[in-house]
Amino acid sequence: SYELTQPPSVSVSPGQTARITCSGDALPKKYAYWHQQKSGQAPVLVIYEDSKRPSGIPERFSGSTSGTMATLTISGAQMEDEADYYCHSTDSSDKVLLGGGTKLTVL
Amino acid sequence: VQLVESGGGLVEPGGSLRLSCAASGFTFSNAWMNWVRQAPGKGLEWVGRIKSKGDGGTTDYAAPVKARFTISRDDSKNTFYLQMNSLKTEDTAVYYCTTLLHWGQGTLVTVSS
């Protein structure tokens, strides 16, 4: 069965580039999406269809894919970007796949 | 876009609960709607989805809830539902309704005796 795998944690200093990966066999055929969840809040979509940014999401957030891996890049990470990040995609029958989440620490 | 969940609360193991999600700000009848839950201190877990009627209106569920949970929709009310039966303590979570582009604020379901 398809799964999406993320690293449990990523840590960067303010102003550095943070990269969060998501790997899975579904990704070459299906779009990747990224959601940000700050502590105590509902998730918010930050990237859709691999690399598109919803309105209101800062330009420092970008997405890319290559083969079985999708990457969320935060260029010049800020303290306010500290959150859990989840990737999602779908399998061949359109069931939703969710990654386990990555805790981004900016310190 | 606004998604507002309701119906959460405390229920005993083996009990039932129905969650509702009222949607506005988009063409609800065309949307595929999902429930995603988050147990305390854990990650997001997809619960299930209902397609738009135009795409067949079919449902799919995650293995842990299949045969216990049922998703339905009422396009005339811009609302969709999660009927949860035979609840277990491990179903305790915040339940979010989501189009996966937009999210509600969630409603807490606690299963405990």
Radius of gyration of chain B (CA): 13
Q: Give dist(CA A103, CA B18) in Å, integer.
A: 32
User: Does position B83 have pLDDT exceeding 80, yes or no?
Assistant: yes
Q: Does A93 touch chain B (CB under 8 A)?
A: yes
Amino acid code (one letter) for B35: W
Say how many residues make up chain A.
107
Decide if pLDDT at B57 tops 80.
yes
A44-82 pLDDT, tens per residue? 999 999 999 999 999 999 999 999 999 999 999 999 999
Average pLDDT over residues A6-19: 97
CA B6 to chain centre: 10
The rounded Cα B4 to chain-centroid distance in angstroms is: 11
Compute how many other C-beta atoms are within 10 angstroms of the C-beta atom of residue B49.
24
- Say if the Cβ atoms of B44 and A37 lie within 8 Å: yes
- Segment B14-21 mean pLDDT: 98
Q: Residue B34: its chain A contacts at CB < 8 A?
A: 96
Question: Cα(B84)–Cα(B108) distance, rounded to whole angstroms?
Answer: 13
Instruction: Label residue A1 by pLDDT band (50, 70, 90).
Output: low
A95·B60 Cβ contact <8 A: yes
How close does chain A come to B86, measured CA to CA in Å?
23
Helix (H, G, I), strand (E, B) or coil at B94: strand
Q: Quick check: A52 contacting B, CB < 8 Å?
A: no
Q: Are B37 and B54 in contact (CB under 8 A)?
A: no
Neighbours of B67 (CB within 10 A): 9
Whole-angstrom distance between the N-terminal and C-terminal Cα of chain A?
A: 37
Cβ–Cβ gap B103/A96 under 8 Å: no
Task: Return the structure tokens found at B101.
Answer: 């582009």
